[in-house]
């Protein structure tokens, strides 16, 4: 028995390179389309080219006649199956029955109408073109405000007003606040539809084992367990006969936090043809038939005193829902409402949300999901107020921040902010950017006629979704830790990461808690037959909720190991640390592996202790977490062309304690890129007839390496009291903080011309027209 | 994204290739950077595809008697790194290096690009500014067409059915000339929203020769002869740039209106003229 | 309709009967059984399918397999030698230049040509050199760092 | 998408009007028109083969002539659908005398759908204008 023990360095807070990377950098990771099954068939979905039409008939005879075509399914085949589910429970919500395939009408371009199954994907594609659908086009409406106008075409004929729901929330006394106000600023602000665009599109393989009456669904999803429950429901099959496996997932950003028609369809088809069937979405389908994000038209009114004290906010929010509700579609704008007060102390909020049907693909959760829209709105309004009052935008923010000694802080929308020191990241960002100097340089540039802007956003967000009361299907997360007889450690997490690096951060947590080398830890996820039920990875919850469940499971496991250690050392006074159990009196120890063997061989057991070393914990978070931060952006606008150059991008994000700074940096950079995408380039455009004219990556502009600025990222660390790790979540911070800072910066640049607001994306032509307009 | 079926041919000689085109159902495949995407979208479904890559000599970039001859199958990347191009017609190299991305430049060819005549291709601006000639071959022999007459309309050239682009011929730029290709790239596709190619030759304080080619602004590339004349007549760069695109039709799309494109053509013509002048000796 | 295709992939020779319309990416993935090159867009924008053809980076979704007749293809699977990672692979790992990993094989192949053409690129040159590869996760900064690191260490 | 323009044709308005109502002339002048068959009063079935660079596609469609006021104006509606998408155009044509000939002014709307709309938005206007120009060029060459 060893007696000299050096406690290993803890890994919490270390820039550890990722465990998942070796398979990814060698091309050996297996994504959905890499999987092949014996006898596998391929499906191609026939989709509507019309935004609205009646289906007069479908002729599949030519397609069926093509050699290699195994089967064709149309709406009539699936009428009796369940609907694509929506988990929202908003009072009075109108829920159209979302059949797996269109019945007598199509409601958006890309609406699935038929599925062709062939022996290979080329045959399926050829046959799909031979399916003749007789459409009678009807009037469509693609713009939510036009959909609300009298006489607009009805998306669903049964609801001629196109209203799916109204939702009202208020806190305080907004009318009184507005009566007291010296100044009220008003603005219509849009948050355009975005296409999430994970580089891997969606894909499904369904495998039916007739003998076992069991079905395995491989799907590129963020939520394997929820998918299993809900697809079983659609098909009316026992949940325990359905197994969902997520292979490597090539990005999600919320778009794979859903249950899609194709997932249930492939399951159904595999049973019907008794063969495995694969469907992989094309990029066009990904644009037309996977959820979009955002899609807001917001009317804001902000009331304040002349000294800059904000008194209250009114909001009318028009949410473009698209033609159907996907899993969380109607919930997203309600998250916006929750986040409306931002980081500020005002207690009066009055918000009306109207959810509007349009002849477009549904909107749903895309990175940030409701919070970027809210943050963009409030941060723009605060800047507009500063402009109106001729105050510095930093000063007006500092004046209105919730104070560091006021936490936990109850907001006007009923949230309790966990912890924070909002001035800290703002001061740090200003110091790192050299704010005073920048303002002097700006003044000098303006004197030369140059358009230089400095923009701030100080954002807050709701992360670690979340307490179960706030989520339709539960907001807890689960973890199982197994110490194998050999001393290796296996973690089963219900969070299903897809790029976030939890195989590494979770291994760091395990290594620190158990004192084993990180390399001895395997993190398993994404297989419902292996992993206990879990909720999934979204809403910046993977580490904050899933990691916390793991932490508690580890405590249970440590307690049990300690019992074995104490028994083996013959004393009660033991210390479990660094991979050993040490007799405090004698310094004698047993190793981790020795305890593992003892627990499994079970020749002798401590009192009231079962053999084996497995602990499972389902953790219910008591609250959300509320990260915050400050982004500062310096821009210069080309006066002649309207082109925008980002000269500095400084961000200071407080996401609680940081487990792996390398991974956190990556999350911030990626988040900022998506925020910049919205601010400058990305826009899903439906034309008046409901055609998605930004239909491929040749028109929908994702951020490219050459267009990204260098991101100067740093942090303050205010631990969250909500969870034992003190972490808050980082997945969405960059996205949420970014877009208002960029727009504020460009508006600041153009403010000498009298510009006070510009809607995203800030295309050069839009800016040029503003400059020309000011000249005129 | 799977194309319709077709038959695939790799002729060893131009004569063989021309014979294969005779029935009209075939398409020439050079680098495939325009044709293959169209085929995958099923916007193009040729019955046969005639790949020119085995025909010897179509790739060569050579120089003879003050002229540079660029084989139609020379890739954009070969053109951007060619010492001959760099030395003798650097404007073309600058335009080549502005095309798409390295993967596209490795495959795409100058012959394929000019034959496709995308209104937003990069090369045509440089080719019209260089007064290049497009050498065409058919069963009836060879002929050349001036670049400014070659690009007739969107996706429409002066080529007749049964003709193949075999080479681009460019007179050497004089060593004292200044040149510049300026491009505003579309953020998604990388195509020029507007591209302006400029050549200038100084004469004392004035400009002895100016050539300005514009792509992306309208349905086809054009030479801004009015602006060239102003420059050569002693007008300033700003005055000359201000007339670029006058009387020309414009394109418009989601990203940029025709009005804005014309404006961009003028702004970037001004900048390209200024940049070219600083390079002129 | 099918014709014989003979080519070399990662140093190994292959010969198969293929339809002319079979895309090179589908040949590599479906026939040759590779999993490194991915399909991300189909319009020649995203670069996830990038492989090297006779030493040059190309988008294998915008090529018919028959165009590779007699030529040599290098994919991400062919980089590591005897279990030793290529410097770019190592640098992508060290610098956390990937998250979901889907764009990574294509990104690394393009970076390989970038460094071959220009062994000590500036930040702007790296960013321009990667114009044909989209990444939705990283914001590119760590990718730039990885390429810089390899350049600094003396190349790929 | 709104589209409009004016073309000069070397005919007096009466003759221009007459030519523009003649299905044989329309078919000859419409780029790619392979056949135009009368199906009713002012209504025709059309088969078209579009070819533009490497792009080609067959369309089955309809041509409708309404709001005729000889010789000054009528509405021409063209629609077609094929594998690569569908298009619909409707325009009011106004004919006015100009010197020895006439000016034909058109003012209309073009709508496209399917693959052409998904990938072709940057080219729709350019292409529509070019096809209309080709139409009038050919019309001008009628005798």
Going from N- to C-terminal start, the domains of chain A cover 392-409+419-457+628-775, 467-619
Percent of chain D scoring above 90 in pLDDT: 72
- For chain B, the residues whose C-beta falls within 8 A of a C-beta of chain D are 27, 34-35, 38-39, 41-46, 116-120, 153-156, 186, 189, 191, 219, 249, 251-255
The model's confidence at residue D129, banded by pLDDT at 50, 70 and 90, is: confident
Nearest to A693 among B187, B254, B256 (CB): B254
Average pLDDT over residues A10-16: 95
CATH number of B61-171: 3.30.465.10
Average of pLDDT values for A657-677?
A: 97
Which A residues in the span 231-270 are in contact with C, Cβ-Cβ below 8 Å?
A: 248-251, 253
Q: Which of D54, D122, D127 sits opposite B35 (nearest CB)?
A: D54
- List per-residue pLDDT tens for chain B, 281 residues long: 899 999 999 999 999 999 999 888 899 999 999 999 999 999 999 999 999 999 999 999 999 999 999 999 999 999 999 999 999 999 999 999 999 999 999 999 999 999 999 999 999 999 999 999 999 999 999 999 999 999 999 999 999 999 999 999 999 989 999 999 999 999 999 999 999 999 999 999 899 999 999 999 999 999 999 999 999 999 999 999 999 999 999 999 999 999 999 999 999 999 999 999 999 99
Question: Dmax of chain B from CA atoms?
Answer: 62
Residues 75-134 of C with CB under 8 A from A: 75-77, 79-80, 85, 89, 92-94, 96, 98-105, 108, 123-124, 126-128, 130-131, 133-134
Residue D117 with chain A: CB contacts under 8 Å = 687, 691-693, 695
Contact A697 B188 (CB under 8 A): yes
Phi-psi region of D60 (alpha: psi -120 to 50; beta: other; left: phi over 0): beta
- Domains in chain D: boundaries: 2-140
**What is the DSSP track for A81-111?**
S-PPP-----TT-------SS--SEE-STT-
Rounded Cα–Cα distance for residues B249 and B246 (Å)? 9
Q: H helices within B59-146, ranges in order?
A: 76-81, 83-88, 90-97, 102-107, 110-116, 123-129
- C-alpha angle C22/C26/C28, rounded to 5°? 115
Site from B24, B39, B43, B192 to mutate, D interface, most D CB atoms within 10 angstroms: B43
CB contact under 8 A, B42 and A698: no
Nearest-neighbour CA in chain B from A66: distance (Å): 14
Chains that touch A (3 or more CB pairs under 8 A): B, C, D
Of B5, B39, B106, the CB nearest to C57: B106
Mean pLDDT score, D6-18? 94
Asked if B225 is an interface residue toward chain A (Cβ–Cβ < 8 A), one would say: no
Which of D52, D126, D132, D136 has the highest number of chain B CBs within 10 A, making it the mutation to test binding with B?
D126
C19 touches B: beta carbon within 8 Å = yes
Mean pLDDT of chain A, nearest integer: 96
- What pLDDT digit, counting tens, does each position of C50-106 carry? 999 999 999 999 999 999 999 999 999 999 999 899 999 999 999 999 999 999 999
Is there a contact between A199 and C102 if contact means CB atoms under 8 Å apart?
yes
Q: Do residue A250 and residue C100 have CB atoms under 8 angstroms apart? A: yes
Q: Where are the domains of chain B?
A: 7-51, 61-171, 178-279
A35-63 pLDDT, tens digit per residue, is 999 999 999 999 999 999 999 999 999 99
CB contact under 8 A, B255 and D55: no
The ipTM (two decimal places) reads 0.97
Residues of C in contact with B96 (CB under 8 A): none
* pLDDT tens profile A686-706: 999 999 999 999 999 999 999
Chain D residue at shortest CA distance from A691 = D113
Pairing of strands C3-9, C50-53: unpaired
Q: Which of B26, B50, B114, B155 to mutate to test the interface with D (most CBs of D within 10 A)?
A: B155
Q: Are A167 and A90 in contact (CB under 8 A)?
A: yes
Q: What is the mean pLDDT of residues A28-33?
A: 98
- Whether A2 has a pLDDT exceeding 60, the answer reads no
Question: Residues of CATH 1.10.150.120 domain(s) within chain C?
Answer: 87-152
Q: What mean pLDDT comes out for the span A86-97?
A: 95
Residue A51: closest CA among chain D residues belongs to which residue?
A: D113
- The residue whose two tokens read 């002129």 is B280
How many C-beta neighbours within 10 Å does residue A448 have?
Answer: 7
Of the candidates D54, D55, D126, the beta carbon closest to that of B251 is on: D126
Task: Kindly tell me if the per-residue pLDDT of D128 is higher than 90.
Answer: no
In the predicted model, is pLDDT for residue D123 greater than 90?
A: no
* Contact criterion met (CB < 8 Å) for C23 and B40: yes
State the architecture of D2-140 in CATH terms. 2-Layer Sandwich (3.30)
CATH superfamily of the domain spanning C87-152: [2Fe-2S]-binding domain (1.10.150.120)
Q: What is the topology classification, in CATH, of domain C3-77?
A: Ubiquitin-like (UB roll) (3.10.20)
* Measured distance CA(D36)–CA(D41) in Å, rounded: 13
Q: For residue A134, which of A161, A164, A102, A162 has the smallest C-alpha distance?
A: A102
The secondary element (H helix, E strand) that includes residue A287 is: helix A283-289
Task: Name which of A701, A702, A762, A766 to mutate to probe chain B: the one with the most chain B Cβ atoms within 10 A of its Cβ.
Answer: A701
Between the CA of residue B210 and those of A343, B74, B88, B180, B242, what are the distances in Å? Answer: 59, 27, 17, 12, 15
From B29, which residue of chain C is nearest by alpha-carbon distance? C67
Residues 6+ apart with CB under 8 A from B242: B266, B270
How does pLDDT run across B216-262, given as a tens digit for each residue?
Answer: 999 999 999 999 999 999 999 999 999 999 999 999 999 999 999 99
A198/chain C closest Cα distance in angstroms: 6
Mutate one of A26, A279, A502 to test the C interface: name it (highest C CB count within 10 A).
A26
Determine the pLDDT at residue C155: 67
CB contact under 8 A, B254 and A694: yes
Q: Does A426 touch chain D (CB under 8 A)?
A: no
Of D54, D83, D120, the CB nearest to B27: D54
D87, D121, D124, best to mutate vs chain A, most A CBs in 10 Å: D121
Residue A573 has pLDDT above 60, yes or no: yes
Across the interface, whether the CB atoms of D119 and A691 are under 8 A apart is answered: no
At the top level of CATH, the class of A467-619 is: alpha beta
Give the SS3 label for residue A375. Answer: helix
Chain A residues lying within 8 Å of D118, measured CB to CB = 284, 287-288, 691-693, 695-696
Specify the CATH superfamily of domain B178-279.
CO dehydrogenase flavoprotein, C-terminal domain (3.30.390.50)
Predicted local confidence at residue D56, as pLDDT? 84
A687 contacts chain D (CB < 8 A): yes
A466 contact C CB<8A: no
pLDDT tens string A293-340: 999 999 999 999 999 999 999 999 999 999 999 999 999 999 999 999
Identify the band that residue A466 occupies on the pLDDT scale cut at 50, 70 and 90.
confident
pLDDT digits (tens, 9 = 90+) for D38-87: 999 999 999 999 888 788 889 999 999 999 998 999 999 999 999 899 99
Looking at beta carbons, which residues of chain B come within 8 Å of C113? 102, 106
D68 SS3 class:
strand
Class of domain A392-409+419-457+628-775: alpha beta
Question: CB distance D85–A49 less than 8 Å?
Answer: yes
pLDDT for A1: 45
pTM of the model: 0.97
Residues of C in contact with B81 (CB under 8 A): 117
Per residue in A196-206, pLDDT (tens digit) is 999 999 999 99
Average pLDDT on A724-735 reads 95
> Could D119 and A696 be called an inter-chain contact, meaning their C-beta atoms sit closer than 8 Å?
yes
Q: Averaged over A166-185, what is the pLDDT?
A: 98
At residue A6, the pLDDT reads: 56
Phi, psi of A64 (to 5 degrees): -60, -30
Residues A401-444 pLDDT 10s: 999 999 999 999 999 999 999 999 999 999 999 999 999 999 99
Cβ-count burial A469-507 (b if 16+ within 10 Å, e if not):
ebbebbbbbbbbbbbeeebbbbbbbbbbbbbbbbbbbbb
Helix, strand, coil % over all residues of chain A, rounded to 5: 30, 25, 40
Cross-chain residue pair C110–B103, CB shorter than 8 Å: yes
Residue-level pLDDT at A436: 98
Q: Phi and psi at residue B43, in whole multiples of 5°?
A: -80, -25
Q: Which fold has domain B7-51?
A: 3.30.43
Domain ranges in chain C with CATH number 3.10.20.30: 3-77
**Chains in touch with C (≥3 Cβ pairs < 8 A):** A, B
> Per the CB < 8 Å rule, is A699 touching B184?
no
Q: Is the pLDDT of residue C141 over 80?
A: yes
């Amino acid at each position: 028995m060893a007696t000299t023990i050096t406690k290993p360095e803890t890994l919490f807070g270390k820039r550890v390179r990722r465990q998942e990377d070796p398979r990814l950098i060698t091309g050996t990771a297996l994504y959905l389309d890499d999987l092949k099954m014996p006898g596998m068939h391929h499906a191609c979905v026939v989709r509507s080219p019309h935004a609205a039409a009646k289906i007069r008939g479908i002729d599949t005879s030519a397609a069926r006649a093509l050699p290699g075509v195994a089967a064709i399914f149309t709406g009539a085949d699936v009428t009796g199956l369940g609907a694509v589910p929506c988990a929202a429970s908003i009072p009075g919500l109108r829920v159209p029955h979302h059949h797996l395939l269109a019945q007598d009408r199509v409601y958006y371009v890309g609406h699935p109408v038929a599925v062709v199954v062939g022996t290979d994907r080329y045959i399926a594609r050829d046959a799909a073109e031979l399916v003749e659908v007789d459409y009678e086009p009807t009037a469509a409406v693609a713009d939510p405000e036009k959909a609300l106008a009298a006489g607009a075409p009805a998306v669903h004929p049964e609801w001629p007003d196109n209203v799916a729901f109204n939702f009202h929330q208020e806190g305080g006394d907004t009318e009184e606040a507005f009566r007291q106000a010296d100044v009220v600023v008003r603005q219509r602000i849009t948050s355009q539809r975005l296409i999430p665009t994970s580089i891997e599109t969606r894909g499904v393989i369904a495998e039916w084992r007739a003998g076992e009456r069991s079905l395995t669904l491989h799907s590129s999803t963020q939520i394997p367990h929820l998918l299993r429950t809900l697809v079983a429901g659609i098909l009316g099959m026992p949940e325990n006969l359905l197994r969902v496996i997520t292979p490597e997932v090539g990005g999600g950003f919320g778009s794979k936090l859903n249950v899609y028609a194709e997932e249930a369809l492939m399951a159904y088809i595999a049973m019907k043809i008794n063969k495995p069937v694969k469907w992989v979405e094309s990029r066009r389908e990904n644009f037309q038939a996977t959820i979009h994000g955002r899609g807001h038209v917001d009317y804001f009114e902000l009331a304040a005193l002349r000294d800059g004290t904000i008194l209250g906010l009114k909001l009318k929010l028009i949410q473009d829902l698209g033609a159907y509700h996907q899993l969380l579609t109607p919930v997203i704008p309600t998250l916006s409402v929750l986040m409306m007060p931002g980081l500020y102390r005002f207690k009066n909020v009055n918000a009306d949300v109207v959810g509007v049907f349009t002849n477009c693909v549904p909107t749903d959760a895309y990175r940030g999901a409701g919070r970027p829209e809210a943050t963009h709105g409030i941060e723009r309004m605060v800047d507009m107020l500063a402009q109106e009052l001729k105050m510095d935008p930093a000063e007006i923010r500092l004046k209105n921040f919730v104070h560091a000694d006021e936490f936990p802080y109850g907001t006007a929308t009923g949230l309790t902010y966990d912890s924070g020191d909002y001035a800290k990241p703002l001061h740090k960002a200003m110091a790192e950017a050299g704010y005073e100097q920048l303002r002097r340089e700006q003044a000098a540039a303006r004197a030369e006629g140059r358009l230089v802007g400095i923009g701030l956003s100080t954002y807050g967000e709701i992360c670690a979704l979340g307490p179960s009361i706030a989520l339709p299907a539960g907001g807890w997360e689960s973890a199982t830790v197994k110490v194998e007889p050999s001393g290796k450690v296996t973690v089963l997490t219900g969070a299903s990461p897809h790029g976030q690096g939890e195989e590494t951060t979770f291994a760091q947590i395990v290594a620190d808690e158990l004192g084993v080398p990180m390399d001895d830890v395997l993190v398993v996820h994404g297989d419902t037959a292996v992993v206990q039920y879990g909720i999934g990875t979204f809403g910046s919850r993977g580490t904050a909720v899933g990691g916390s469940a793991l932490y508690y499971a580890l405590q249970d496991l440590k307690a049990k190991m300690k019992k074995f250690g104490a028994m083996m050392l013959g004393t009660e006074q033991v210390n479990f640390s660094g991979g050993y159990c040490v007799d405090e009196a004698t310094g004698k120890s047993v190793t981790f592996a020795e305890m593992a063997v003892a627990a499994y061989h079970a020749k002798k057991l401590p009192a009231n202790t079962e053999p084996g070393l497995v602990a499972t914990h389902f953790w219910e978070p008591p609250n959300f977490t509320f990260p915050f931060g400050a982004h500062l952006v310096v821009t210069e606008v080309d006066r002649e062309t309207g082109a925008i150059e980002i000269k500095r991008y400084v961000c200071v994000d407080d996401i609680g304690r940081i487990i792996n700074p390398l991974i956190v940096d990556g999350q911030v950079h990626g988040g900022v890129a998506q925020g910049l995408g919205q601010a400058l380039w990305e826009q899903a455009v439906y034309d008046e007839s409901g055609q998605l004219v930004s239909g491929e990556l040749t028109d929908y502009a994702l951020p490219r390496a050459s267009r990204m600025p260098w991101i100067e990222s740093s942090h303050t660390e205010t631990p969250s009291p909500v969870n034992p790790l003190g972490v808050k979540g980082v997945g969405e911070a960059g996205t949420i903080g970014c877009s208002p800072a960029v727009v504020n910066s460009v508006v600041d640049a153009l403010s000498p011309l009298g510009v006070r607001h510009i809607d995203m994306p800030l295309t050069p032509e839009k800016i040029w027209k503003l400059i020309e307009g000011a000249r005129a | 994204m799977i194309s319709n079926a077709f038959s695939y041919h790799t002729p060893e000689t131009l004569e063989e290739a021309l014979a294969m085109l005779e029935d009209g159902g075939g398409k020439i495949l050079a680098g495939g950077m325009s044709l293959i995407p169209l085929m995958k979208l099923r916007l193009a479904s040729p019955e046969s595809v005639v790949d020119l890559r085995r025909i010897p000599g179509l790739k060569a970039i050579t120089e003879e008697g003050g002229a540079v001859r660029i084989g139609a199958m020379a890739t954009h990347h070969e053109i951007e790194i060619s010492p001959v191009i760099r030395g003798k017609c650097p404007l073309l190299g600058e335009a080549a290096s502005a095309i798409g991305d390295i993967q596209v430049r490795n495959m795409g060819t100058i012959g394929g690009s000019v034959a496709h005549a995308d209104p937003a291709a990069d090369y045509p601006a440089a080719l019209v500014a260089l007064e290049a000639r497009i050498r065409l071959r058919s069963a009836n022999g060879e002929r050349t067409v001036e670049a400014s007459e070659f690009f007739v309309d969107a996706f429409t050239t002066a080529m007749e059915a049964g003709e193949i682009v075999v080479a681009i011929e460019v007179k050497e730029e004089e060593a004292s000339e200044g040149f510049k290709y300026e491009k505003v790239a579309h953020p998604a596709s990388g195509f020029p929203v507007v591209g302006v190619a400029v050549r200038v030759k100084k004469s004392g304080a004035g400009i002895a020769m100016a050539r300005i080619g514009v792509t992306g602004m309208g349905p086809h590339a054009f030479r801004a002869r009015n602006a060239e004349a102003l420059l050569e007549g002693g007008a300033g760069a700003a005055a000359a740039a201000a007339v670029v695109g006058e009387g020309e039709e414009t394109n418009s799309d989601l990203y940029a209106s025709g009005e804005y494109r014309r404006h961009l053509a003028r702004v970037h013509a001004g900048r390209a003229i200024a940049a070219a002048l600083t390079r002129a000796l | 309709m099918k014709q014989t295709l003979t080519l070399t992939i990662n140093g190994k020779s292959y010969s198969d009967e293929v339809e002319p319309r079979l895309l090179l990416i589908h040949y590599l993935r479906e026939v040759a059984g590779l999993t490194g090159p991915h399909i991300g867009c189909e319009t020649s924008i995203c670069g996830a399918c990038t492989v090297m053809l006779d030493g040059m980076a190309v988008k294998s979704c915008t090529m018919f397999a028959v165009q590779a007749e007699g030529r040599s293809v290098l994919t991400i699977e062919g980089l590591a030698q005897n279990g030793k990672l290529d410097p770019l692979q190592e640098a992508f790992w060290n610098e956390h230049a990937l998250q979901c990993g889907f764009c990574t094989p294509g990104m690394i192949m393009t970076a390989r040509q970038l460094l071959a053409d220009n062994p000590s690129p500036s930040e702007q040159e790296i960013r321009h050199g990667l114009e044909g590869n989209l990444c939705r996760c990283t914001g590119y900064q760590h990718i730039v760092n990885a390429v810089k690191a390899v350049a600094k260490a003396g190349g790929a | 998408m709104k589209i409009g323009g004016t073309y000069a044709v070397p005919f007096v308005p009466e003759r221009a009007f007459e030519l523009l109502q003649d299905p044989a002339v329309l078919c000859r002048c419409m780029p790619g028109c392979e056949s135009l068959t009368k199906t009713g009063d002012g209504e025709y079935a059309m088969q078209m083969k579009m070819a533009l660079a490497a792009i080609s596609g067959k369309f089955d469609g309809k041509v409708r002539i309404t709001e005729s006021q000889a010789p000054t104006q009528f509405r021409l509606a063209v629609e077609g659908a094929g594998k690569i998408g569908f298009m619909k155009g409707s325009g009011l044509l106004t004919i006015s005398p100009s010197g020895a000939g006439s000016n034909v002014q058109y003012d209309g709307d073009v709508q496209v759908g399917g693959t052409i709309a998904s990938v072709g938005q940057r080219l729709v206007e350019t292409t529509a204008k070019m096809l209309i120009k080709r139409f009038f060029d050919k019309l001008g060459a009628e005798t």
